[in-house]
Amino acid sequence: MKKEGLRRHLLWTLVVLLALGLWPLGGWHTLLVCRVLGFAFLFAMVTVAWNLVALSGLISLGHAAYFGLGAYAAALLDHYSGAQVPVTLAVAGLSAAAYGAVLAVAFQRLRAASYALATLASVEIPKVIADNWESFTFGSLGLVGTRPLPTISVAGFAVDLSHNIMGQYYFLMTFLAVACAIHALAIHSRWGWALRAVREDERAAAVLGVDVFATRFTATVLSAALTGVCGGLYAHLMGMTEPDLVFNLHISAMPLVFAILGGRFRWYGPAAGALVLYSVDQLVLHPWLPAGHAAVYGLVIMVILLFFPKGIGSWPAPRS
Amino acid sequence: MWFQLLLNTLSLGSFYALVALGFSLIFGVTHTFNLAHGELIVLSGYMAYGLSKAWQAPFALTLPLCMAAMACLGQVLLALVRRIREPFELSSLVFTFGLALVIQNAMLFLFTADYRRIPASGKPLRLTADLIVTRNQLWLIGLSLAATALVYLMLRKTFLGMALRAVIQEREAARLAGIRVERMNRIAFAVGGALIGLAGPLFGQNAYLHPAGGMEATLIAVVITLFAGTGRIRGLLAGAWLLALLESAAALWLGSNWRELVSAGILIALLMWKPEGLLARKKPAPEL
Amino acid sequence: MRGVPASRLAAVLVLLAVLCMGQSAAFASEIRIGEINPLTGKLANHGQEIHLGIQAAVDEANEAGGIEGRKVALLTRDDQSRPEVAVSQAEDLILRQKVAALVGGYVDSLVGPLSQLALRHEIPYVASASLQTHLTREGNNPYFFRISHLSGLVEPLCGFVTEALQARSAALLHAATPGATELSRELFKCLKKAGADLPLVEKFQPGTPDFSPFVLKLKASPPDVLLVAGFFQDHLILARQIRELGAPIKAYIGPWGVAYPSFVQEMGRAAEHLFGLSAWNPGMAVPGTEEASDAFTERFRRVYKKEPTTTVMHGYTSARVLLHAVGRVLREGRPLRGSEIARALRTIDLLLPMERVAFDTKGDPLHYRQVVVQIQDGALVPVYPPERAQGTWIYPMAPAASNP
């Protein structure tokens, strides 16, 4: 990247980060925007997590499995043991990571379309179990009454994360920042180069001494863990978990759309795609066309793909 | 009862195969991962519904009309996806996802959110004391066999088919060999569109028509196509029957709630055993 | 700007221009009511019916000169059947559009988060078609009201099967959704208590394209009654396959999705003698409201060019209740605040065509009862309970062979 381009790139990043960071202090309809962006942060985190696997050259259509497992793990732990939220979130991440590890081992020979189909089918297994194990997961009734996010104290101030929307906003933003940092590492670090080598040419990567399986395994498990944490957050935010809600195809398709429209090969691309598209949909399209917003949303997707084939994240930077 | 179960499975599998045929052909030749497939099927179903309600068109007449209309629409779709740049498969997937949303909501606006059904073609026939076959099932089994056979013969026995197969197997090599890939794309979208047009009225007769009902059809098409391996036309029918048989057996013995688990589990097992697709010879799975 | 081609810039400008259109300004004199419903996706048919019912109530009020001379503005939003969307959109209505109250809602999983949001912002929420019991059981939410509940379905249904039909065995099939599962569970309990035999209880994923294995099982050991807690589209497939394969059951009961004129229209003769549940239909009003009911039916058909259904009536009833409470607050000269409207709602007692609306302390309706109807010669005939019946039921239903 040329020097001038780099400078402008940094400038843009700074402007966006400042705007996101300072918005709650007095932006337009602060509460509403914070609420919507809070959800956008959550889905951006799923998108970033999804892209970790995509960076290793595998397209997953089954991230709803990790999301749902995380949601169920958090909700069940909350219901049966009343554990604190940090514990439920950690268990949510761990259980999703465990499933991710199993899938990474089981699907290690699968590539491309076969991998996509296998992951698509892998959602059904936890879903049907959650749906039918009535004595433990309450079956199709789902779990209700999951406790909301707790009150934490930051620098002497008590912040109620469930009622203080701004607190919730910064809380979720922190999670996204961590996910983005991992994602940046997956692009720019030594491990990132290994991922890239695996993505471009597995055989050549292996010859160069990259452990193909280990690289993909790490990416998948990390991605699953992050997605599981998102599921856990969702369970606490909504206060309920139902099989069809958290194991929904929608959850699997969303990160793919966001990531590709945002640009998959920049550290901020997937997050930018999710934030822009989700908030435009919720804040502009829904109020404007209550019954026809989805059609415009579809048009926006088509237009972006035709005019920004590398994603909206590629726009501010000059073409190389 | 067993014969009845087999017959129902056969017709369900034929239904799956018909829904998947157009997707498989378009994906195989042009690598367009068309997520708007189901929406186009539903659109064709609405067309048949409108024809039969407005002009009392007989069911058999709606089929060629829908096929012609959808073949034309296929060309429009091709003109759109041609503008998509690399990586083509993934971008086309997201592009058609957007297109599916547009078509779905346009249908919601045009045809309202009411559920519709194309009426059955006539009384069920009683073959033996407890073996009943409905006209719908006859249509399904007959048409899916005929369509599969025709596509198979076209691909295997004609010069055009040879060119199409060459494109399916090795796109760049086919181009170097002088095959006009652009033209093959147009033909694939025309034939694939016609197959979508054929599936629509049958979809409306055996399931129901609803603007948001296309997703299920797309899922069926994706699963069966990738399951059988692209470009495997006979394999498609066999794969569809097998899947229908497994689902029905699971629903019968374990209960309807286990149906999805059994089909997903077996799908995963088969994919792990033969990653290239069930009936494909050794050949890498198509890029995504 | 170097490096950014004009076409991209133009595309962005066009997009921005498209996105920034709309957004009307608020009028201080208007009474603003917010509505959340599934307007797109699988549930759009019922969501739009509820919406039309609410719209009808608002139009009616405006035609009569508004509420105490103030016009009513209805702001509608889609929830896409996802709770996070419902919450965001409701918050948009409350914070940006400054609505005085919320109404609508079809899916229980969305009504729960919405009721919590109503409590937080102290805005009353009248749910149009919420059923599940846990929503009002836990906690105390003085801002949540609903005009329907599950026992209003279970009691007449169970009474009909055990007392009127005196069925000895029943099969239960339900969709894997929370509402359908709870309904099926309650029916199971009450049928067991009445001593009925339940040989077959099954669950299916919504959207299943084929029920024939289940029908074959029914055929092997036919129960007297089949209860199907599924939705419109599931009945379209299942009822057809039962007819085609000739499963010899004596009654087919679909609490949801059967008692609709559009169901009869799509199914034709195959819908004959099926049972459904309905809270209201044209010509089937709560005693004492026949005139109002007929006026509503006539007006609805004329203005919206559609046949009103029980779902439309749920939307209409919820909006009528809310507008009535708003009117009372204004008449008493109180400020139009959430707490005042909620207070007026708690003491409401209003006779409407669907039910006499009054709420208990939890916000549940006191008098909600559905009626069992049977499709006879293409018409929806109320048959049970006796005080609302207009005909007698046909049982067992005509065998499949006589149906084309």
What pLDDT, in 10s, does the model give residues C47-65?
Answer: 999 999 999 999 999 999 9
Across the A/B interface, how many CB contacts are shorter than 8 Å?
A: 133
Weakest mean pLDDT among B54-58, B184-188, C70-74, C365-369: B54-58
Per-residue pLDDT at C159: 93
Closest-CA distance of chain A to residue C39, Å:
6
Q: List beta partners, residue C225.
A: C170, C251
The set of residues, in sequence order, having a beta carbon less than 8 Å from that of C79 and lying 6+ positions away, is C36, C37, C38, C39, C85, C86, C89, C105, C107, C110
Q: Is the CB of residue B60 less than 8 Å away from at least one CB of chain A?
A: no
Per-residue pLDDT at C123: 95
- Which residue shows structure tokens 């996204």? A176
Q: Which of C21, C84, C206 sits opposite A288 (nearest CB)?
A: C21
Triad A183, A187, A189: Cα angle to 5°: 105
Please choose, from the candidates C95, C111, C129, the residue with its C-alpha nearest in 3D space to the C-alpha of residue C26: C95
The set of residues, in sequence order, having a beta carbon less than 8 Å from that of A69 and lying 6+ positions away, is A92, A95, A96, A99, A126, A228, A231
Mean pLDDT within A314-318: 56
Across the interface, do A257 and B97 touch by the CB < 8 Å criterion? yes
Distance CA B17, CA B197 (A): 14
Percentage of chain C surpassing pLDDT 90? Answer: 73
Q: Which residues of C touch B244 (CB under 8 A)?
A: 210
pLDDT digits (tens, 9 = 90+) for A153-185: 887 788 888 888 889 999 999 999 999 999 999
Q: Which amino acid does the sequence have at B153?
A: L
Please choose, from the candidates A128, C238, A105, the residue with its C-alpha nearest in 3D space to the C-alpha of residue B263: A128
Q: Which of C2, C18, C89 sits opposite A318 (nearest CB)?
A: C2
C268, pLDDT greater than 90:
no
Domain C152-278+371-402 indexed as CATH 3.10.129.10: no
Contact B134, B124 (CB under 8 A): yes
The set of residues, in sequence order, having a beta carbon less than 8 Å from that of C148 and lying 6+ positions away, is C127, C128, C129, C130, C131, C279, C314, C365, C368
Q: Which residues of A touch C22 (CB under 8 A)?
A: 287-289
Distance CA C141, CA C232 (A): 32
Across the interface, do B259 and C208 touch by the CB < 8 Å criterion? yes
pLDDT digits (tens, 9 = 90+) for C290-319: 999 999 999 999 999 999 999 999 999 999
Q: Which residues of A touch C111 (CB under 8 A)?
A: none
Across the interface, do C212 and B212 touch by the CB < 8 Å criterion? no
pLDDT digits (tens, 9 = 90+) for A207-230: 988 999 999 999 999 999 999 999
Per-residue pLDDT at A13: 83
Per-residue pLDDT at B277: 61
C-alpha distances in angstroms, C281 versus A204, A255, C380?
Answer: 71, 44, 8
Per-residue pLDDT at C403: 43
Across the interface, do C233 and B115 touch by the CB < 8 Å criterion? yes
Closest-CA distance of chain C to residue A35, Å:
7
Q: Burial, A109: exposed, middle or buried (Cβ in 10 Å; 0-12, 13-18, 19+)?
A: exposed
Reported confidence tier of residue B11, pLDDT bands at 50, 70, 90: very high
Higher pLDDT, A26 or B212: B212
Nearest CA in chain B to A307: B84
Across the interface, do B91 and A260 touch by the CB < 8 Å criterion? yes
Reported confidence tier of residue C3, pLDDT bands at 50, 70, 90: very low
How far is C-alpha A177 from the geometric centre of its chain's CA atoms?
A: 12
Per-residue pLDDT at C2: 43
Closest-CA distance of chain B to residue A172, Å:
27
Weakest mean pLDDT among A251-255, B215-219, C6-10: C6-10
Weakest mean pLDDT among B66-70, B208-212, C5-9: C5-9
Per-residue pLDDT at B80: 92
User: What is the three-state SS of B5-30?
Assistant: HHHHHHHHHHHHHHHHHHHHHHHHHH
Distance CA A271, CA A261 (A): 10
Does C31-148+288-357 match C152-278+371-402 in CATH topology? yes
Q: Burial, C88: exposed, middle or buried (Cβ in 10 Å; 0-12, 13-18, 19+)?
A: buried
Per-residue pLDDT at B275: 73
Higher pLDDT, A10 or B71: B71
Distance CA A268, CA A283 (A): 22
Percentage of chain C surpassing pLDDT 70? Answer: 92
Structure tokens, C55:
């719209």
Higher pLDDT, B287 or A187: A187
Q: Which amino acid does the sequence have at C114?
A: L
The set of residues, in sequence order, having a beta carbon less than 8 Å from that of B200 and lying 6+ positions away, is B40, B41, B42, B43, B44, B45, B46, B47, B48, B66, B70
- Arithmetic mean of pLDDT over chain B: 88
Please choose, from the candidates A191, A222, A189, the residue with its C-alpha nearest in 3D space to the C-alpha of residue A52: A222
pLDDT digits (tens, 9 = 90+) for A47-86: 999 999 999 999 999 999 999 999 999 999 999 998 999 9
Secondary structure element (H or E) that encloses residue A240, with its range: strand A240-241
Distance CA A72, CA A67 (A): 9
pLDDT digits (tens, 9 = 90+) for B175-190: 888 888 889 999 999 9
- Arithmetic mean of pLDDT over chain A: 90
C-alpha distances in angstroms, C120 versus A207, B140, C90, C116, C123?
Answer: 60, 55, 12, 6, 8
Q: Give the burial string for B129-168 (b: 16+ CB within 10 Å, else e).
A: eeebbbbbbebbbebbeebbeebbebbeeeeebebbbbbb
Q: Which amino acid does the sequence have at A161?
A: L
Interstrand relation of A240-241 and C356-357 (parallel, antiparallel or unpaired): unpaired
Question: Which of C85, C91, C93 to mutate against chain A (most A CBs within 10 Å)?
Answer: C91
Which chains pack against C, by 3+ Cβ pairs within 8 A?
A, B
What is the DSSP track for B58-126? -HHHHHHHHHHHHHHHHHHHHHHHTT--SSHHHHHHHHHHHHHHHHHHHHHHHH-S--B-PPPSSPPEE
Reported confidence tier of residue B196, pLDDT bands at 50, 70, 90: very high
Per-residue pLDDT at A112: 80
Structure tokens, A243:
């099989």
Q: Which residues of B touch A301 (CB under 8 A)?
A: 94-95, 97-98, 101
CATH of domain C31-148+288-357: 3.40.50.2300
Reported confidence tier of residue C8, pLDDT bands at 50, 70, 90: low
Across the interface, do B257 and C237 touch by the CB < 8 Å criterion? no
Question: Which of A4, A138, A141, A234 to mutate against chain C (most C CBs within 10 Å)?
Answer: A141
pLDDT digits (tens, 9 = 90+) for C254-267: 999 999 999 999 99
Closest-CA distance of chain C to residue B90, Å:
21
Q: Which residues of C touch A240 (CB under 8 A)?
A: 83, 109, 112-113
- E strands, A56-169, where? 143-144, 151-154, 157-160
Nearest CA in chain A to C80: A294
Reported confidence tier of residue C14, pLDDT bands at 50, 70, 90: low
Across the A/C interface, how many CB contacts are shorter than 8 Å?
A: 117
Which chains pack against B, by 3+ Cβ pairs within 8 A?
A, C
SS3 C255: coil
Q: Which residues of B touch A134 (CB under 8 A)?
A: none
Q: Which residues of A touch B288 (CB under 8 A)?
A: 59, 112-113, 115-116
Q: List beta partners, residue C379.
A: C376
Q: Which residues of A touch C109 (CB under 8 A)?
A: 142, 240, 242, 245
Please choose, from the candidates C127, C104, C121, the residue with its C-alpha nearest in 3D space to the C-alpha of residue C37: C104
Across the interface, do C237 and B207 touch by the CB < 8 Å criterion? yes
Percentage of chain B surpassing pLDDT 70? Answer: 95
**Residue C143 CB neighbour total at 10 angstroms:** 24
B71, pLDDT greater than 80:
yes
Per-residue pLDDT at B59: 87
Distance CA A93, CA A107 (A): 20
Q: Please state the ipTM of this predicted complex.
A: 0.90
Domain ranges for chain C, please list them: 31-148+288-357, 152-278+371-402
pLDDT digits (tens, 9 = 90+) for C221-262: 899 999 999 999 999 999 999 988 888 899 999 999 999 999
Contact B41, B199 (CB under 8 A): yes
Q: Which of B257, B258, B271 sits opposite A117 (nearest CB)?
A: B271
Secondary structure element (H or E) that encloses residue C56, with its range: helix C44-63
Closest-CA distance of chain B to residue A141, Å:
14
Distance CA C169, CA C216 (A): 17
Across the interface, do A309 and B86 touch by the CB < 8 Å criterion? yes
Across the interface, do A110 and B272 touch by the CB < 8 Å criterion? yes
C-alpha distances in angstroms, A104 versus B67, B259, B274, C235?
Answer: 43, 25, 17, 41
Higher pLDDT, B5 or C23: B5
Q: Which residues of A touch C88 (CB under 8 A)?
A: 35-36, 39, 282, 286
Residue numbers of B between 238 and 257 with CB closer than 8 Å to A: 257
pLDDT digits (tens, 9 = 90+) for A98-142: 999 999 999 998 888 889 889 999 999 999 999 999 999 999 989
Q: Which residues of C touch B208 (CB under 8 A)?
A: 233, 236-237, 266
Choose the most confident range, by mean pLDDT, from B22-36, B237-251, C296-310.
Answer: C296-310
Mean pLDDT within B197-204: 94
Distance CA C78, CA C93 (A): 11
Nearest CA in chain A to B110: A292
Contact C34, C102 (CB under 8 A): yes
Q: Which residues of B touch A117 (CB under 8 A)?
A: 222-223, 226-227, 267, 271
Mean pLDDT within C6-12: 58
What is the DSSP track for C302-351? HHH-S---HHHHHHHHHHHHHHHHHHHHHHTT----HHHHHHHHHT--EE
Per-residue pLDDT at B279: 52
Distance CA C325, CA B70 (A): 53
A318, pLDDT greater than 80:
no
Q: Which residues of C touch A287 (CB under 8 A)?
A: 22-23, 77, 92, 96-97
Nearest CA in chain C to A40: C84
Please choose, from the candidates C202, B81, C171, the residue with its C-alpha nearest in 3D space to the C-alpha of residue A131: C202
Closest-CA distance of chain B to residue A30, Å:
30
Distance CA C202, CA B251 (A): 10
**Residue B51 CB neighbour total at 10 angstroms:** 19
C125, pLDDT greater than 50:
yes
Across the interface, do A124 and B260 touch by the CB < 8 Å criterion? yes
pLDDT digits (tens, 9 = 90+) for B132-159: 888 888 999 999 999 999 999 998 889 9
Q: Which of C40, C41, C203 sits opposite B257 (nearest CB)?
A: C203
Contact A79, A91 (CB under 8 A): no
Per-residue pLDDT at C341: 95
Reported confidence tier of residue C22, pLDDT bands at 50, 70, 90: very low
Per-residue pLDDT at C20: 47
Residue numbers of C between 228 and 287 with CB closer than 8 Å to A: none
Q: List beta partners, residue C276.
A: C254, C373
Question: Alpha helices, DSSP H only, in C99-228?
Answer: 108-121, 134-137, 151-159, 178-193, 212-220
Closest-CA distance of chain B to residue A120, Å:
9
pLDDT digits (tens, 9 = 90+) for A96-106: 999 999 999 99
Per-residue pLDDT at C404: 39
Domain ranges for chain A, please list them: 30-248
Distance CA A142, CA A245 (A): 9
Weakest mean pLDDT among A12-21, C289-298, C312-321, C328-337: A12-21
- Which residue shows structure tokens 């997050």? A271
Per-residue pLDDT at C26: 46
Domain ranges for chain B, please list them: 2-215
Q: Which of B101, B264, B287 sits opposite A298 (nearest CB)?
A: B101
C194, pLDDT greater than 80:
yes
Across the interface, do B267 and A121 touch by the CB < 8 Å criterion? yes
Distance CA C187, CA C160 (A): 12
Mean pLDDT within B73-99: 90
Distance CA C4, CA A254 (A): 28
| Interface list for chain A against chain B, based on CB atoms closer than 8 Å | 59, 106-107, 109-118, 120-125, 127-129, 131-132, 249, 253, 256-257, 260-261, 291-292, 294-295, 297-302, 305-306, 309
Interstrand relation of C144-146 and C125-127 (parallel, antiparallel or unpaired): parallel
